[in-house]
Amino acid sequence: MDTQRCPYRLDTTAADLHGEAALLRARGPATPVELPGGIRAWSVTDPGLIKRLLTDPRVSKDAHRHWPAYLDGEVAEDWPLRIWIDVRNALTAHGPEHTRLRRLIGTAFSARRVRQLTPVIEEIAADLTDRLAADAGDGPVDLHARFTWVLPLMVVNTLLGVPEAMHDDFRSTVGSLFDTDVTAEQAVANGQAVYRLLAELVAAKRQDLGDDVTSALIGARDDETGTGLSEQELLDSLLLLIGAGHETTVNLLDHAVVNLVENPEQLALVRGSAATWSDAVEETLRHQAPVANIIPRFATEDLHDPDTGVTLPKGELIVINFAAAGRDPGLHGGTADRFDLTRDTRRDHLSFGHGTHFCLGAELARLEARIALSALFGRFPDLALAVPPAELRPLESFISNGRKELPVLLGRRD
């Protein structure tokens, strides 16, 4: 098959995300794909090639400099994924500009701030499990709505200093940015709603600065350049922190719960101290990458990879397929699809990225997941799914690998 002429059209509904990842992996280390709106791209599935691309200075994330189709006006203003391209923050910056922006937001996830959040996360987890125990009867409970979605949002709101009156609005708007199966009009409306909310947050914090990340970013100055964030960079940096600090952790928790209740022998390893909650978190990150696919990246010149024989043309959009890499049999063996806490390669995943764009919030996400899982299974030792796994509906997104809901039976309460 001539894959150059026959790009694979990605399923925007993500009905079978891992089946699609396996199909793409079978087509080669990198293969042409089609995104919504007929946008052509390359899906990279090979873990080794991904690592090399993510550390190659000739690979940029800046569409404003390195995507000819975008610069030439070939990408529609209402393209559903355009917000991922338009933003000006560390996610899309390249070279010295990325270094500057990353330094400015680095304080958000400093070791000090993460340590300070530990008792906060423990308190949130305890409060949420108390509410579950008090409010739930014997019937199904949507754990996604009551626990796994709420805990990360409360943590990121604490981190950013979001006023309590704005919590519900953030809750209703943030997740919309990851939906890849929406109309162009809805995508534009979702983006406008999020920016209105971010502008309200910044205005509120300017009136009442505190010991939080939003206040720190408002007053941040780069020691090397003496500059701070422009207003657009400030809003876009907050957008990055909210998206990276919430959606991905929600997905991690949802998948960890499903994996553990569907593999009771694995949960028994943790309860018997033969494995740890950290092992469960790392194996979930490998087995179910919270971000299945990420854009954008572009080669700043024709790139030939001698190890795979792949050539990525200059200026073409590159999609990094973390879902495919996490289950690559060449790295993880013939049982790569199996959830196994004792797997030697459980930590050899790319779910937090690699290289200069490695996720700043990785350690916070790990901490949240360890605390949340320990609290949840400690309080509800007989937790079980209320429906067969096949009936769990995925998010309609090939970017965010998550669930729409997570119906469970809590069982006895300890």
Decide: 258 and 393 in contact? Cβ < 8 Å. no
Which of 357, 320, 296 is closest to 70 using CA atoms? 296
| Dist. CA 217–CA 233, nearest whole Å | 10
Fill in the amino acid letter for 4.
Q
Which of 232, 223, 198 is closest to 92 using CA atoms? 232
Q: Cβ neighbours of residue 225 under 8 Å, at least 6 residues apart?
A: 100
| Dist. CA 335–CA 326, nearest whole Å | 12
pTM as predicted: 0.92
Phi, psi (degrees; rounded to nearest 5) at 294: -130, 140
Ordered by where they begin, the domains of the chain are 8-409 (1.10.630.10)
| Dist. CA 225–CA 282, nearest whole Å | 38
**Positive or negative torsion for Cα 368, 371, 376, 381:** positive
Angle CA 409–411–414, to nearest 5:
135
Report how far Cα 356 is from the mean position of its chain's Cα atoms.
Answer: 17
pLDDT tens digits in sequence order for the chain, 414 residues long? 344 457 999 999 999 999 999 999 999 999 999 999 999 999 999 999 999 999 999 999 999 999 999 999 999 998 989 988 998 888 899 999 898 888 888 877 778 888 889 999 999 999 999 999 998 777 899 999 999 999 998 999 899 999 888 877 876 777 676 777 778 788 888 888 888 999 999 999 999 888 888 998 998 876 666 678 889 999 989 988 887 778 899 999 999 999 999 999 999 999 999 999 999 999 999 999 999 999 999 999 999 999 999 999 999 999 999 999 999 999 999 999 999 999 999 999 999 999 999 998 899 999 999 999 999 999 999 999 999 999 999 999 999 999 999 999 998 777
Decide: 372 and 253 in contact? Cβ < 8 Å. yes
| Dist. CA 66–CA 73, nearest whole Å | 13
Q: What are the tens digits of pLDDT across the range 240-289? A: 888 777 889 999 999 999 999 999 999 999 999 999 999 999 999 999 99
Cross-strand partners of 34: 9, 40
Q: 3-class SS at 141?
A: strand
